[in-house]
């Protein structure tokens, strides 16, 4: 089920916006209340709303004072009184995104927008920002598309991590593959999840050395002994602060959250 909904009120309304000043409008307008409590009041003139309140702290009804909707945020208040309602309803809503396939559960459209979700049933799948969604379906019976993600190697895994784990694939390829670069430490770097995927020393917390695994493919060894990655912005060391790659300083690179 999709939890979010858009509320729509249409009709002959009085609209009062109050903050430091007070403005009042009257006309046949359509009021939209989005799931984040943003309120937009549209008329037939132009593209900009007559009045609006972004992410209100509360949206409620004040029947005692004839106001159908009352939105408040800090010192701002937006009141809409419907004298003649043409309609008032709730409609299911979701984020809109690029179509990437069909949902195997309900045959609804799978779209990519801050992850992948189904427009029909609302199922959601976390997807790294740099992932490419492929037309190829997963080899198992889940029916979901596969995605291509670069984390040291190019991995093709299912959208559903419970079906096929990107973490497990990266761990199988690179767990203990590199030694901890700290002096006086004989540990290896383990592949762990700490918000994102990291290569962290096995002797933690005695050694807290750890590096975010970047979006790219391993293509060599840095002067510091750690691997280098070929990324969209060029070659970099596993250690984003390292200045020994190709003998030139590197700018720290932000890594997409897995």
Position 221 pLDDT exceeds 90:
yes
Report, as an integer, the average pLDDT of 180-205. Answer: 94
Q: Which pLDDT does position 140 carry in this prediction?
A: 83
The DSSP bridge partners found for residue 59 are 71
- Sequential DSSP letters for 69-124: EEEEETTEEEEEEEEEEEEEEEEE-----EEEEE-TTT-PEEEESSSEEETTT--E
Q: Which pLDDT does position 243 carry in this prediction?
A: 84
Assign a CATH topology to domain 5-92.
Answer: Protein Yojf; Chain: A; (2.70.180)
Position 247 pLDDT exceeds 60:
no
pLDDT tens column, 36-47? 999 999 999 989
Position 1 pLDDT exceeds 90:
no
Mean pLDDT over the full length of the chain: 90
Position 233 pLDDT exceeds 50:
yes
Long-range contacts, 143-148 (Cβ 8 Å, 24+)? 143/104, 144/101, 144/104, 144/110, 145/100, 145/101, 145/110
Report, as an integer, the average pLDDT of 31-38. Answer: 95
CB 78 within 8 A of CB 16: yes
Report, as an integer, the average pLDDT of 153-175. Answer: 94
pLDDT tens column, 114-129? 899 999 988 999 999 9
pLDDT tens column, 198-212? 999 999 999 999 999
Number of other CB atoms surrounding residue 148 within 10 Å: 14
Q: Which pLDDT does position 171 carry in this prediction?
A: 96
Position 18 pLDDT exceeds 60:
yes
Band of pLDDT at residue 246, cut at 50, 70 and 90: low
Position 4 pLDDT exceeds 90:
no
Per domain, the residue ranges of the chain are: 5-92, 98-164, 175-247
Position 31 pLDDT exceeds 80:
yes
pTM for this entry: 0.73
Q: Which pLDDT does position 64 carry in this prediction?
A: 67
Tokens encoding 57:
């702290």
Report, as an integer, the average pLDDT of 61-86. Answer: 88
């Amino acid at each position: 089920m999709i939890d979010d909904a858009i509320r729509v009120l249409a009709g002959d309304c009085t609209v009062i916006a109050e903050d430091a000043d007070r403005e009042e409008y009257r006309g046949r307008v359509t009021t939209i209340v989005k799931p984040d409590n943003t309120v937009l009041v549209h008329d037939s003139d132009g593209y900009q709303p007559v009045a609006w309140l972004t992410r209100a702290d509360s949206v409620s009804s004040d029947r005692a004072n004839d106001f159908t909707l009352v939105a408040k945020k800090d010192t701002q208040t937006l009141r809409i009184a419907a004298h003649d309602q043409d309609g008032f309803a709730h409609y299911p809503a979701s984020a809109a995104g690029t179509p990437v396939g069909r949902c195997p559960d309900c045959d609804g459209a799978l779209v990519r927008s801050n992850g992948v979700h189904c427009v029909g049933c609302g199922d959601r799948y976390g997807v790294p920002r740099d992932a490419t969604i492929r037309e190829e379906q997963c080899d198992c019976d889940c029916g979901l598309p596969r995605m291509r993600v670069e984390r040291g190697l190019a991995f093709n895994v299912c959208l559903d991590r419970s079906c096929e784990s990107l973490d497990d694939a990266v761990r199988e390829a690179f767990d203990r593959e590199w030694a901890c670069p700290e002096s006086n430490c004989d540990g290896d770097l383990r592949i762990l999840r700490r918000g994102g995927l990291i290569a962290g020393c096995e002797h933690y917390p005695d050694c807290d050395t750890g590096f975010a695994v970047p979006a790219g493919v391993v293509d060599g060894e840095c002067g510091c002994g750690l691997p280098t990655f070929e990324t969209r912005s060029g070659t970099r060391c596993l250690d984003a602060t390292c200045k020994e790659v190709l003998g030139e300083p590197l700018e720290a690179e932000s890594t997409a959250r897995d």
